[in-house]
Amino acid sequence: MNRLLSNDIIALRPLEPTDLDILYRWENDSELWTVSDTPAPYSRKALWDYLETNNGDIYSQRQLRLMITLADGGTPVGTIDFLNFDPFNNRAELGLLVAKEYRGKGLGRQALELLTVYARDHIGLRQLYVYILTDNKVCINLFERFGYRHAGLLQAWVKRGATYHDATLMQMVF
């Protein structure tokens, strides 16, 4: 097993075609759309096309999505992403999803730990940042405990229905 992207509990691996069904379920969970900026459901075809064209090269695609799996058996429990990768400034936005049934078990924290080491030591990033809705206290607490600092408040940043909500910008500088 790749020790750079795994520990005794979880492993981070590239997306595979066999992930289509679970991605379809997660991407079409409308409860998650407000944290992912998803405006509408994804078709299986759109997700299949993404899986087919995703080559895992963060430099050419400016993003990298990895599946979070349990180390003992490979059960998918979430995804973790580098988005908006900026190789000139050595920074990337981070996205994290842990499936409902696996939350509260420390898996998100472990995925953050593995991906942070990978970002800093392997890719050479200088910083990671996240946007989190201000009412998502669980997520804010996770990133605070992990060492992210509040960098700003983005007013009326995310639209939910007809109402706009604030988001906090948090960053970790290495």
Residues 81-120 have pLDDT tens digits of 999 999 999 999 999 999 999 999 999 999 999 999 999 9
Please determine, for residue 1, whether its predicted confidence score (pLDDT) is greater than 60: no
pLDDT above 90 covers what percent of the chain?
A: 77
Q: Is the pLDDT of residue 145 over 60?
A: yes
pLDDT band of 8, cuts 50, 70, 90: very high
* Average pLDDT value for the chain: 92
Instruction: Tell me how long the chain is.
Output: 174
Q: Which CATH architecture has domain 3-125?
A: 3-Layer(aba) Sandwich (3.40)
DSSP 98: E
Number of helices (H) and strands (E) in the chain: give both, helices first: 6, 7
Element (H, E) at 138: helix 137-145
Residues in CB range of 65: below 8 A, 6 or more apart: 15, 54, 79, 80, 81, 82, 95
Per-residue confidence at 34, pLDDT binned at 50, 70, 90? low
pTM of the predicted model as reported, rounded to 2 decimal places: 0.91
What is the separation of C-alpha 133 from the centre of its chain, rounded to a whole number of angstroms? 15
Q: For the chain, give every domain's residue range.
A: 3-125
pLDDT band at 11 (very low <50, low <70, confident <90, very high): very high
Strand partners, 67: 13, 79
